Amino acid sequence: MAVNDIPALQPPARAPLASRMLGHRLFRPLAALAVLLLIDFLLIPGFFHLEVRDGHLYGALVDIVNRAAPLMLAAIGMTLVIATRGIDISVGAVVALSGTVASMLIGGTMVMQDGVPVYLADTPMLVAIAAALGAALLCGLWNGALVAGLGLQPIVATLILMVAGRGLAQLLTDGQIVTVYYQPYFFLGSGYLFGLPFALFVVAVVFGVTALLLRHTALGLFIQAVGINPVAARLAGIRTAALIVFVYVFAATCAGMAGLLISSNVKSADANNAGLMLELDAILAVTLGGTSLAGGKFSLAGSLVGALIIQTLTYTIYSLGVPPEVNMVVKSVVVFLVCISQSDQFRQLWQRRRA
Amino acid sequence: MNVRVLAKAPSFTSLVTVALLVAMLLVGGALYDGFLSLQVLLNLLIDNAFLLVIAIGMGFVILSGGIDLSVGAVLALATMIAAWLLQVAHWPPLAVIAFVLLLGAGFGAGMGAIIHYFRLQPFIVTLAGMFLARGLCYLISIESITIDDPLFVAMSQTQLPFFGGFLSPGALIALGMLGLAIWLAHYSGFGRAVYAIGGNETSAAMMGLAVGRTKVLVYALSSFCAALAGVLFAFYMLSGYGLHAQGTELDAIAAVVIGGTLLTGGYGYVAGALSGVLVLGTIQTLIAFDGTLSSWWTRIVIGGLLFVFCVVQRVMAFGKK
């Protein structure tokens, strides 16, 4: 890095605005999102229509952003893991586990108050949420310990929790779907604050705190260093093991929050199906956002855009009346294309052709 | 040979697995009447024939230092295409089987080529392959397609006598595949190249081995095995369905690891797949015999076993240094 800094001592000739925009790492994801939105604008009537009803903002755009919230949370966590050359495929299992814990603790008992049935929480909601996030945190500690402590490959280390996590959640619920009756809990996933979905504020706070941590402390630099060369980072005095554990704990906690949003939105916890394949979508969102799977180069904002691209794509496919099953084929083709276009070999081919 | 020498021998985890299998069978026999009958053991093979075939293919991939997450989806796609060709297009059954197997090999070769020539990580490419294969299933049909072709029905109902018990044709095919794979891994140039690449890809290339061709072939073999497993699964279930065999890739990886193959590649036995699959099958049978334990215990126990074996592998690796 230091070598690259030297020419910067003289003020560099500023590239023209257009080429700087084209070269920006967010350009490609944003362009992809713009193209998708343009298609929606042309094909779906009233796509950009927003209206205020009962003091809430309604419309397709709000719907997309709201539904993308759990994925955005999972993607923020996944970004840091992938930035350290790791991968976390236990995200879906953690979502199921945290949603189950929260739903079971809250439950809801019907009590008659002045002749009106009112549901009371079995456990105070804050305690239940803390317990759910605590469970997620433990999952992250487990993953981190396996990766950093035992030195297992991340995909195998997190595979263990992916297999066993859902089993544990089913064990807790005895295989049943747990229904929640306690009203205030629903606010998390389907409530509105200042006319916007509450889930959005959760995402905004998590994103803001993470971005601040990465930019204004050395954390971002350390993560990048570990991703670029773990051995060199350790020799340079970075506590690599602690950092890796932190990253997995952070990812699992994000997944835990996603689990709360999902279970609150559907007012129940389904240990078998909650967050199914969410890990794949999260990896896809991170990749689409321009984070390199080889570690080191990452973009938090890019991952959010990636999550929005995926959700917009899903929405488009549904509203165009295309069978939703096509979604998987489209997603897989997108992953192939993005990965191939990121690879050095492809770039060399491309440059040779141009030269 | 004393215990310390034995524990340091490279085949130690494979031996542990066989011991574990015997112990589990004996415990089962002590706890439940009729557990230790020949037919229960043969049923282990019959019910897990498809998993054995997948684990064989996965074994080669992991030996070469890669991973293949698409096998469960390729299995489902194979059952789906076979069912559609039989029931809707009315192809002759043998042509259907040949076509499905070829298609599987082609699918894997494509993924292998992308992994090798663009230097991408195997897990992301095969993850995309998994999406693609499952998606293609649903493009053919969202519903399950029932197969009533005479050959497939005959295959599912035939009972071949075997020392007083019986085996299904599918189980025999799986055992045949295992024999072929053992020959391929330990007595052919291809096998030696796979081990060499798993040990160290750069030095394999410097030795003049055809790294690219071998890697493409490894993934082709894995998908071919998955397609063959799909055919066996279709014999077994007599239907094609996009939701068939969800999560099988994880069972296959677990079977390979439990069978004593190092996840970092380069070390292990293809035959370990058999002991790994039988251990997984025995866990399921034990849980079924118990009757009070619910099905999710299977997943928890498999996760736990996977953990224990990974730890043992790591501890042994540290011991070597």
Question: pLDDT (tens digit, 9 = 90+) per residue, A294-312?
Answer: 777 788 888 888 888 888 8
Same domain, A259 and A227: yes
In a mutagenesis test of the A interface, which of B62, B114, B130, B131 is the best target, namely the one with the most A β-carbons within 10 Å?
B131
pLDDT of residue B181: 93
Q: Establish if A14 belongs to a structural domain.
A: no
* pLDDT higher than 50, residue A21: yes
A209-236 tens-digit pLDDT: 888 888 888 777 888 778 788 788 788 7
Least confident residue range of A66-75, A251-260, B194-203, B295-304: B295-304
Which residues in chain B are closer than 8 Å to A153, comparing Cβ atoms? Answer: 263-264
Task: Provide the percentage of residues in chain A whose pLDDT is more than 70.
Answer: 87
The model's confidence at residue B81, banded by pLDDT at 50, 70 and 90, is very high
Q: Establish if A6 belongs to a structural domain.
A: no
- List the CATH number of the domain containing A210: 1.10.3470
Same domain, A330 and A315: no
* pLDDT higher than 60, residue B3: no
* pLDDT higher than 50, residue A6: no
d(CA A122, CA A179): 13
The SS3 call for residue B321 is coil
Q: Which residues contact A305 (CB under 8 A, 6 or more apart)?
A: A26, A29, A30, A33, A288, A289
Same domain, A317 and A342: no
* pLDDT higher than 90, residue B227: yes
Same domain, A281 and A342: no
pLDDT of residue B258: 85
| Mean pLDDT computed over every residue of chain A | 79
Least confident residue range of A209-223, B2-16, B43-57, B224-238: B2-16
Mean pLDDT of B202-209: 86
d(CA B108, CA A263): 38
Least confident residue range of A319-323, B51-55, B99-103: A319-323
Cβ A167–B299 below 8 Å, yes or no?
A: yes
Which residues in chain B are closer than 8 Å to A151, comparing Cβ atoms? Answer: 314
Fold held by B45-157+165-320: ABC transporter involved in vitamin B12 uptake, BtuC (1.10.3470)
Residues from B contacting A (CB-CB < 8 Å) are 67, 114, 117-121, 123-125, 127-132, 134-136, 138-139, 142, 242, 247, 250, 253-254, 257, 263-264, 294-300, 302-304, 306-307, 310-311, 314
A303-317, B86-100, B300-314, range with greatest mean pLDDT: B86-100
Least confident residue range of A159-168, A186-195, A201-210, A221-230: A186-195
Same domain, A221 and A344: no
CB atoms within 10 A of CB B11: 14
pLDDT of residue A7: 46
Let me know: does A179 contact A268? Beta carbons within 8 Å. yes
pLDDT of residue A13: 54
Same domain, A200 and A256: yes
B242-266 tens-digit pLDDT: 777 777 888 898 889 888 888 777 7
Same domain, A193 and A231: yes
Q: Establish if A107 belongs to a structural domain.
A: yes
The SS3 call for residue A196 is strand
Q: Establish if A101 belongs to a structural domain.
A: yes
Chain A's closest residue to B136, CA to CA, is A329
Q: Where do the H-state alpha helices sit in chain B?
A: 3-8, 12-31, 38-47, 49-63, 71-87, 93-117, 122-140, 150-157, 169-187, 189-199, 201-206, 211-237, 248-258, 272-290, 296-320
CB-nearest partner of B300 from A167, A175, A323 = A167
Domain range holding A133?
A: 61-321
The model's confidence at residue A148, banded by pLDDT at 50, 70 and 90, is confident
pLDDT of residue B83: 92
A143-147, B12-16, B106-110, B264-268, range with greatest mean pLDDT: B106-110
Q: Establish if A243 belongs to a structural domain.
A: yes
The model's confidence at residue B218, banded by pLDDT at 50, 70 and 90, is very high
Higher pLDDT, A181 or B72: B72
Which residues in chain A are closer than 8 Å to B132, comparing Cβ atoms? Answer: 328-329, 332-333, 336
d(CA A95, CA A219): 26
Burial of A123 (0-12, 13-18, 19+ CB in 10 A): middle
Mean pLDDT of A69-89: 88
Query: And the tokens for B315?
Result: 């501890």
The model's confidence at residue A19, banded by pLDDT at 50, 70 and 90, is low
Which residues in chain A are closer than 8 Å to B254, comparing Cβ atoms? Answer: 163
In a mutagenesis test of the B interface, which of A156, A174, A317 is the best target, namely the one with the most B β-carbons within 10 Å?
A156
Which residues in chain A are closer than 8 Å to B134, comparing Cβ atoms? Answer: 328
Same domain, A165 and A271: yes
d(CA B278, CA B28): 14
Spatial CA neighbour of A327 closest among B123, B72, B108, B139:
B139
Chain B's closest residue to A293, CA to CA, is B121
* pLDDT higher than 60, residue B203: yes
Q: Establish if A184 belongs to a structural domain.
A: yes
In a mutagenesis test of the B interface, which of A91, A143, A159 is the best target, namely the one with the most B β-carbons within 10 Å?
A159
Which residues in chain B are closer than 8 Å to A335, comparing Cβ atoms? Answer: 124, 127-128, 131
Same domain, A119 and A147: yes
Q: Which residues pair with A112 in a beta bridge?
A: A117
Same domain, A78 and A133: yes
Same domain, A118 and A219: yes
CB-nearest partner of B306 from A163, A283, A336 = A163
pLDDT of residue A115: 67
Same domain, A232 and A331: no
Count of A-B CB contacts under 8 Å: 128
Model confidence, pTM = 0.82
* pLDDT higher than 90, residue B112: yes
d(CA B271, CA B179): 8
Domain count, chain A: 2
pLDDT of residue B2: 57
Q: Establish if A223 belongs to a structural domain.
A: yes
| Mean pLDDT computed over every residue of chain B | 85
* pLDDT higher than 90, residue A175: no
Spatial CA neighbour of B143 closest among B240, B248, B72:
B240
